[in-house]
Structure 1
Amino acid sequence: MAALGCGERPGRAPGIIGLEVDARDLPRGLLHAREILPVRPGTAWLWFPKWMPGTHAPCGPVENLGGLRITLPSGATVAWRRDDEQPNRFRCEIPPDADRVVVAIDYLCNNPSVNSDGVDSFGNVDMGVVNWNTCLMYAEPPEGAAGADDAVRLRAQIRLPDGWGRTCAIDSMPDDDGSLHLQECSLAELIDAPLLAGVNLHSVAISDGRLRVSLDMLGPAGQSLEIDDEVVAELRSLVREMEAEFPGPAPFAQYHLLTVLSDVIPETGLEHQRCSLNIFPVAEWNGGASSEALGQLAHEFCHAWCGKYRRPAGMVTGDYHRAEHTSLLWVYEGLDMYLGEVLSARAGIVDADGFVARVENFAEEMALQSGRAWRSVEDTAIANWQLRAPCRRWGELRRDQDYYLEGMLFWIEADAIIRTETQGARSLDDVCARFLAVEPGASPRPYTGDDVVAALTAVLPYDWRGLVESRIMRPAASPPWTSLERCGYRVDMSAKPSSSPTAIREHGFDERWSLGMSIQRGIVSAIVPGSAADRARLGPGMRVSLVDGKPLSAASLMDALTRSRTTGVVSLRCNDGHGWRDVQLAYDGGPQRLTISRSSDAPDLLAAIARPRAAAAQIPQTAILPAVDNVPVAPAPDGSLQTVP
């Protein structure tokens, strides 16, 4: 690899970082980097990036450093000491006549934490994923100076193993020695553009229209990466629906759906401005693609507008060491969840019935989170990275990252309110067209909670602040059924049969609405507080072998629940680690399942929300639509609705 010195290579220009990454050891799980870093004489604080965009967490994987050496260009050693309170921060003393240092990093790949898998680096014998934040440091700017992400410029190059191809959202040019020189960019742009490399790469042009999109795939050697025509058609339909949803300029010139197929690299999905990183097991794309995989691509793609371009002000820090304030993740992730699910349905990735079923399942899961009684959706957003790891015991009491699902339910309810109050003339699509519109100027374009309320009010005057207070800011006293009811659905309990054999194999016996427990592979996996199982002092982790004296099965469990209407009890043989014993559950309700059905006296707004827009006929510009609060509205040239003067 051509050396980065103080001469004509990337480190020469004042204030520009020169970075060379030697990735030839990626097959062994190692990266080596050499960085020419401009500094000021005196005490310098160098940061290994800590707060990583997209993860919303202080998860920069500094624990995976396998070597850190700082020298002057002359080769003289510069001693460093780690900050006692900030493990990603390093102090060193720069001599009076020095204006740059050379930072040498050895990085240990394939060691992600629960929060860092989307921003870590990975490598094996035939493929690698390089996240540039694992290969560099930056100097903490003086107090009051511009942040590090956009103010700092870089010229980076990378050397890959022989025979490996690559794809990255930043253009690159090969050198005579085989290294690749990336186009000069800001620190923010580099960290936002992971690189895929390997022996088996395949790219498909999805769209070259207003939104230029490609699907760039990386797989193991010998794995077919041919994409079914049906999958390509669904992705192209998705792009058309996105063009309808986001009618103005795009926040990118070209978008890359970076997709890795691997049974070794952990599954993940992470958004970036010009690309998304999506890692799936090989089986997810075995000749085609599952609706879940395509739905993830849609979710991360929508983040280009919702999260990357429009971003909560508290999450725009200007560097990678100041803490992000994440209380508005119910917008960043919740609204994006709505967009990903809705646009997937409109594109045909999920059919209309499947979309309704998913919304129903989301609402049911949130209703079973007993932690809603003490913890608000906003609090799950503030504590988001502490909740990322699944809770193996009593998770319903703690809650998970519920700003995703319950945030989505808020936006479905908001859409239903707008559609109902305007007799279908307006919808959340109009809010998104305004709120997520790309405008000239810097990116990201930050917003506050007041901006969110103002965007909703601009489409429909309503007590949006009160709705946010009750649904997002405060703990909930009742299940989140309002979003479904406003969409024309009703929620009841019924004695439906137990789960299908397939559902039992995948999820076990789910009796949370009856006995208040679920059992997976003979082990209690969840207990509903206040239920019969809770009153009998059962707990997660206990084993169950018999129900009413018979081996546990779907049939024996259903028989026992049916008999409970007359006996008032269900008997379980349980083992809590101290031996087997019979436990009597006082219960007389019989089989119980939550059922969600259409209300006969209300329009089906979920069907309206999922209806495709891209194929709809254009309304003539002279058409006048129904008045809203006595203000007539008509289509604007961009397809959105505007008031008629």
Structure 2
Amino acid sequence: MKSLARPRSPLPVLLLAATALGTALAAAPAAAQTPAPARSAPMAVPLPQLIPAPRDEPYPGTIALEIDATDVARGVYRVVERIPVTEGTARLTLLLPEWTPGAHAPRGRAEQVADLRFYAGERLLSWQRDPADVFAFHIDLPAGTREVTARFVHTSPLQPAEGRVTMTPEMLNLEWDLMSFYPAGHYTRRIMVRPTVTFPRGWRAFTALDGAVGPASSASPATTAPNTASWAPVDYETLVDSPIFAGIHAQRWDLGQNVAMNVVADDPKLLAIKPEHLATYRNLVNEAVALYGSRHFDHYEFLLALTDRMGGIGLEHHRSSENQMEPTSWIDWTGMDWDRNVIPHELSHSWDGKFRRPAKLWTPDFRQPMGDNLLWVYEGQNQFWGYVLAARSGVQTRDSVLGMLAANAAGFVDSPGRAWRSVEDTTFDPIMAARKPKPYASLTRGEDYYTEGALVWLEADQLIRAGTGGKKGMDDFAKAFFGIRDGDWGTVTYEFEDLVTTLNGIYPHDWDKFLRERINQPGRPAPLAGIEQGGYKLVWRDTPNPFEKGRFADARVLSLTYSLGVTIDKDAKVTAVRWGSPAFEAALVNGTKIVSVNGRAYDPAVLRDAITAAKAAPAGSPAPLQLVVQRGDAVRTVTIDYRGGLRYPWLEKAPGKGPAGLDLLLAPRLRPAPTAAAATTVPRDL
């Protein structure tokens, strides 16, 4: 019967029940337990390694490469490539270049190759893309095959969203690596190619390739039929290093020292450079040869596009360089002074980067990954020399060069990204980020090895000058390191220790420690020592310096990086926010539109005036800036308590008599070149 007694507390009852249950489970046979859920665990399937490693052996035969570049309306290059094969070869593996010098990252564009077919005679062959490397193609060959013909089209992007535009109705930039295959298993310098290109009629073409023959080699810029040019057989490494610029509005000038300026433009009036301005490029060539004390080319071809229709580029080659500047950079010489550093930079690369190259940045083919760790020399010191040569030659004014140095230095003052990331680590940014926009670039950093590297080498120059009583500087390092073996246009590689040894030969110092601290350690002070030792200091003014004034005007942006901490484009949208800035604290982010400022419709002048007025606001008064902003469908009011005024970086000379160390560095070494009025046609004009 039931007990009529009062029930116990439930906790002891539950404990007794749990104990009994546990005893029962322990006594139960194993088979009675509930099985754990199944979890399949596959084993990895290794990808097949089907691509032979490159060998330093000649490829048998010469490849014939024919490119029809006449379809400028559609932006299409039509390619026929004939690859000889040794009798008995059952499978041919062809590669599209993926890692190319100057890109510092895998920048191949396999997706732009289309309508691809391979033939043995008239027989269509089967092919497969490699499962592990999409830039490799395996072609099965029938018995007796002695030649494989590849037929395909390379589709140049038609708008920037699709990639870099390389063909317009007025000009083209033919880069061989984008539209040619090479056989796997050989160093690219051991593969011979005979190239042929057909251009639109009336066009002129320029390249560093030698031995052009055919109608396009005529000095006349116009013909009644398309121009076809063929060149002497050349190794594939040199071919890829020798791109082409061609256009309907084109001109060529002889700059002396076997160097020529080859220019294509959107409109013929853009080519009207004044003789005194052309003379600065002659100065540039002479100053560069004097700096390095040698020439690592038999001839050198500047390839320059004055355009806003073809994609921008600045890419070094051993005997040429690909360069783009804004259309009016020559005819508005003063207004576009800010835009002309690309030519000095790329010329200097013939010595720094092409002739002397970090060991891990040299590879035997265009498939092996590159090691970017010494880009603070390859690009950083070259950035330094690009500034120096621009000022010495007059290609840019000294004030613009000082403005560039000021802009560089300012970016590293109170830089949150430098607290955690070293200069050395930024050398891997080309591989990781591929220059894609970042939401907070000041925190993540970008390719800072260019500009911070330049400031480190500026400090090295001033240290050597001080230590030798002004008798030596980085000019002496340039001759000793990059100027060796005059006339050699091969490649000599180096490691970190080679830099230290050469520097100690110029001026004994603990260069190992000097470089490792500045390059490898994060959290260091802003790199201002070279500027200060050079007799200048970084100061802030309420107007942009000459370089930034031109740059901002051309881009049509309002830069408030060092005041409000934001950059705003022509459509009133935020394009960059500095981490930790007043704009950041107000939660302004990229893509936000500024609607109004203190009750007035947004205009760049309205916001500038409001920031200036806020500087005079009494301490303790309400926040002086009130913005209405829109992000997506949301509209909100933002108050910002910023009273520091407009701030733009300048270099200001410290008090003292006579030229300072930085003045001496930027001063010309040679007398200016004589002015020549006329363009000169030379045999390499195709």
> Fold match, TM over 0.5?
yes
Whether the 8 Å CA contact 1:82–1:89 is kept in 2: the answer is: yes
Amino acid at match of 2:116: L
Identity of aligned residues (%): 28
Deviations 1:540-575 (A, max 9, x none): 333344555566432222112321534273342232
- Deviation of 1:225 (Å): 2.6
Whether the 8 Å CA contact 1:56–1:326 is kept in 2: the answer is: yes
Whether the 8 Å CA contact 1:164–1:198 is kept in 2: the answer is: yes
What residue is the counterpart of 1:153 in the other structure?
A: 192
- The yes-or-no answer on 1:241 pairing with 2:287 is yes
What residue is the counterpart of 1:271 in the other structure?
A: 316
What residue is the counterpart of 2:306 in the other structure?
A: 261
- Deviation of 1:518 (Å): 4.4
Whether the 8 Å CA contact 2:77–2:155 is kept in 1: the answer is: yes
Q: For the residues of structure 1 that align with 2:477 and 2:202, how far apart are their CA atoms? A: 48
Q: 1:563 aligns with which of 599, 617, 638?
A: 617
Deviations 1:274-317 (A, max 9, x none): 11111233222337584344421111111111111111111111
- The yes-or-no answer on 1:554 pairing with 2:603 is no
What residue is the counterpart of 2:141 in the other structure?
A: 94
Q: 1:530 to 1:279 in 2, by over 3 A?
A: closer
What residue is the counterpart of 1:108 in the other structure?
A: 155
Stretch of structure 1 that moved more, 504-513 or 25-34: 504-513
Amino acid at match of 1:610: L
SS of 1:490's equivalent in the other structure is: strand
SS of 1:331's equivalent in the other structure is: helix
What residue is the counterpart of 1:628 in the other structure?
A: none
Q: For the residues of structure 2 that align with 1:315 and 1:198, how far apart are their CA atoms? A: 33
Q: 1:514 to 1:49 in 2, by over 3 A?
A: closer
- Deviation of 1:388 (Å): 4.2
What residue is the counterpart of 1:402 in the other structure?
A: 448
SS of 1:253's equivalent in the other structure is: coil
- Deviation of 1:595 (Å): 5.8
SS of 2:624's equivalent in the other structure is: strand
Rg larger in structure: 2
Q: For the residues of structure 2 that align with 1:28 and 1:442, how far apart are their CA atoms? A: 38
Amino acid at match of 2:198: R
Q: For the residues of structure 2 that align with 1:604 and 1:412, how far apart are their CA atoms? A: 13
- The yes-or-no answer on 1:128 pairing with 2:172 is yes
- Deviation of 1:449 (Å): 1.5
Q: 2:501 aligns with which of 454, 459, 475?
A: 454
Q: 2:654 aligns with which of 582, 599, 620?
A: 599
- Deviation of 1:498 (Å): 5.9
* Alignment of structure 1 residues 96-495 onto 2, 5 Å: 96-110=143-157, 117=164, 122-141=166-185, 146-147=186-187, 149-171=188-210, 172-174=212-214, 179-207=228-256, 211-220=257-266, 222-223=268-269, 225-248=271-294, 250-286=295-331, 290-367=336-413, 369-391=415-437, 393-439=439-485, 443-491=490-538
Q: 1:114 to 1:345 in 2, by over 3 A?
A: farther
Q: For the residues of structure 2 that align with 1:329 and 1:59, how far apart are their CA atoms? A: 17
Q: For the residues of structure 1 that align with 2:645 and 2:429, how far apart are their CA atoms? A: 39
What residue is the counterpart of 2:101 in the other structure?
A: 53
Q: 1:568 to 1:471 in 2, by over 3 A?
A: farther
Q: 1:517 to 1:264 in 2, by over 3 A?
A: closer
Q: 1:545 to 1:477 in 2, by over 3 A?
A: farther
* Alignment of structure 1 residues 510-525 onto 2, 5 Å: 510-520=559-569, 522-525=572-575
Whether the 8 Å CA contact 2:596–2:629 is kept in 1: the answer is: no
Q: 1:601 to 1:222 in 2, by over 3 A?
A: closer
Q: Which runs of 5+ in 1 are unaligned?
A: 1-12, 617-645
SS of 1:285's equivalent in the other structure is: coil
Whether the 8 Å CA contact 1:48–1:88 is kept in 2: the answer is: yes
Whether the 8 Å CA contact 1:114–1:388 is kept in 2: the answer is: no
Whether the 8 Å CA contact 2:417–2:443 is kept in 1: the answer is: yes
- Deviation of 1:404 (Å): 1.1
- Deviation of 1:94 (Å): 2.8
Q: 1:218 to 1:515 in 2, by over 3 A?
A: closer
- The yes-or-no answer on 1:65 pairing with 2:127 is no
Q: 1:239 to 1:222 in 2, by over 3 A?
A: closer
Deviations 1:481-520 (A, max 9, x none): 2222222223456xx5466997886665544444444445
Whether the 8 Å CA contact 1:356–1:606 is kept in 2: the answer is: no
Q: TM-score, normalised by structure 2?
A: 0.79
Amino acid at match of 2:249: N
Q: TM-score, normalised by structure 1?
A: 0.84
Amino acid at match of 2:664: A
Q: For the residues of structure 2 that align with 1:116 and 1:312, how far apart are their CA atoms? A: 29
Whether the 8 Å CA contact 1:68–1:104 is kept in 2: the answer is: yes
RMSD after superposition: 3.0
Q: 1:80 to 1:111 in 2, by over 3 A?
A: farther
Deviations 1:53-96 (A, max 9, x none): 22222112111112211111x32222111112322111122345
Which has the larger strand fraction?
Answer: 1
What residue is the counterpart of 1:5 in the other structure?
A: none
Q: For the residues of structure 1 that align with 2:258 and 2:627, how far apart are their CA atoms? A: 60
